[in-house]
Amino acid sequence: MNRVVLVDPAGDIGQVAAALKEIGWVQPECATAVPSGPGVVALLVPPEVAVGAAELAQLPDLRIVAATATGYDHLDLDAIAAAGVWATHCPGYCSEEVAEHAIAFVLALLRGIAFLDNSVRSGAWDYRLAPPRRVAGAVLGIVGLGRIGREVAGRARALGMRVIAADPAVDEERSAGVAVMPLDELLEAADVVTLHVPLTPATRGMIDAAALSRMRPGAFLINCARAGLVDHHALGRALRAGHLGGCALDVLPDEPPSADQPALSWSRTLLSPHAAWFSPGSAAAPYRRAAEAVAAVLQGREPPDAIARPRS
């Protein structure tokens, strides 16, 4: 039996099975790790599961790797294409959820919500421990003006914020009215900086010590994208030195974090467990869409949202 393997025990195998129900010669199944051997014709993998040359070498019958996520930095696209395999992803399925999460972080940071809550629970009663700031009129700097960045911009403007953006792929004509500028200028101007770019060799570590030093004293950093965009050692130093007012992170270098993960001990830091993508409405979508891409390839059609095409 040809096998379609969802390498994600938390994934929705029901959505995969429903999308493949008309293909009687494949058997969808769940696994906790990338399998090996003949018979595996498709993999569906979340961001935590890497697929590269080593995995491909063990899967002689593989025809498609479908990422159950928008990001695909966990896939070696050159190796996949060279192996004669398709790769796809799921852009846009959780844009609204991530934008809402980022805006929730913006509000919590500027108004000091979590920090003041913690202070009251510790016995204090003093708003000056985390003085709330006015949201209307504050400058939000969006790094990356793609689907999610544009959703964030619309919500921020509805709150009366001034929105600026840095994205070399977007010019003023395609910026939906958002002022576009170089990253250095954005960092110097923003009260809150939120990251919404993919992790690539060009963006890895883009928020390093130099970038953090350019941010305004007391500014906030939000990352709901990929942990690798930020130099976490430099971020910790900037927080300890008091240069930043705080940060909010939905992604960490190691997930789940070990007890000695530095971010767990940083002051004025909000953390969520890679949850920005989630809502009941978005939970099933990536598995259904990835399975639809698998069905297309197995039926001899080009899949939607292809990011690698077979070269052999």
301 labelled catalytic: no
For the chain, domain boundaries: 2-93+281-308, 95-271
What single-letter DSSP state applies at residue 254? S
What's the pLDDT at 93? 95
pLDDT at 172: 66
> What does the alpha-carbon distance between residue 291 and residue 30 come to, in Å, rounded to a whole number?
13
Q: Please report the pLDDT score of residue 174 as a whole number.
A: 66
CATH number among 3.30.420.40, 3.50.50.60, 3.40.50.720, 3.40.1010.10, domain 2-93+281-308: 3.40.50.720
Say which of 226, 232, 288, 289 is annotated catalytic. 226
Residue 104 burial (CB count, 10 A): 18
Q: What is the C-alpha separation between 118 and 218, in angstroms, rounded?
A: 20
Q: How far apart are CA 145 and CA 133, in angstroms?
A: 25
Q: Residue count of the chain, please give it.
A: 312
What is the model's pLDDT at position 91?
A: 96
169 vs 165: CA distance, rounded Å: 11
| Assigned token pair, 178 | 């958002």
Q: Do domains 2-93+281-308 and 95-271 have the same CATH topology?
A: yes
Least confident among 15-24, 160-169, 191-200, 268-277? 15-24
Does CATH place domain 95-271 in 3.40.50.720? yes
The pLDDT of residue 171 is above 80: no
274 as an active site residue: the answer is: yes
> What are the pLDDT digits (tens) for 269-301?
999 999 999 999 899 999 999 999 999 999 999
Gap between the Cα atoms of 153 and 213, Å rounded: 24
User: Given this model, what pLDDT does residue 157 score?
Assistant: 97
What is the tens place of the pLDDT at every residue in 199-238?
999 999 999 999 999 999 999 999 999 999 999 999 999 9
Catalytic residue among 255, 301, 302, 311: 255
Q: What is the mean pLDDT of residues 149-171?
A: 95
